[in-house]
Chains A and B, each alone.
Chain A
């Protein structure tokens, strides 16, 4: 089975722009979670989607949004980028909602200039 695939691997944007990151989960996995990883804050939970519905949300502003498609693929969007949004964004998939054995992708490294 192919693992979790995230695209793009690297992204450079400027303040005020918006960005869309993509995640393809492991085949058969219906839950996709997104995490932001920074050196100072570590891993912080953004949101979890299951069967196209957001089931869980972290403490991030509304500029951060996501969605999940019928094939379980997920996208996250960040609007009006700020310098502090520079981070590694990790996507994880699991078989079902609340299944904490997560399988992670290699992440998208976002740099905001």
Chain B
């Protein structure tokens, strides 16, 4: 069965601290995609990154970085020098095939990040 676990329900940090959001996944597929989305208070989910299962290179985008490790089935997300605007709920998701051979997204329950001034 496919599953995404975000063990951290809520995290609170002070501005300028670094913070890492954990994501552990389970899948039997050999080809799959992993995603991170951000959901600010306004409600709409914002795409942050997609990583396919064959690309284990870490990625950095400004203050954001992602660490993908197939050996531990983890796809962790780090925000460096956090800012108040980073306050949101962050979701990790796994794209996997269902019984009908259609791809669908399986979501973690999200981590609520509060960055305090």
Contact = CB atoms under 8 A, between A and B. Distances in A.
Interface of A: 3-4, 42-45, 48, 55-56, 58, 88, 90, 92, 98, 100-107, 109
A42 B110 contact: yes
A43 B33 contact: no
B109 interface: yes
B interface majority secondary structure: strand
B103 A98 contact: yes
Q: Name the interface size band of chain B.
A: 20 to 34
A103 B104 contact: no
Nearest to B100: A56
Given A42-B109, A42-B110, A43-B91, A104 B104 contact: no
Contacts of B95: 100
A12 B109 CA distance: 25
A92 B93 CA distance: 14
A17 B47 CA distance: 34
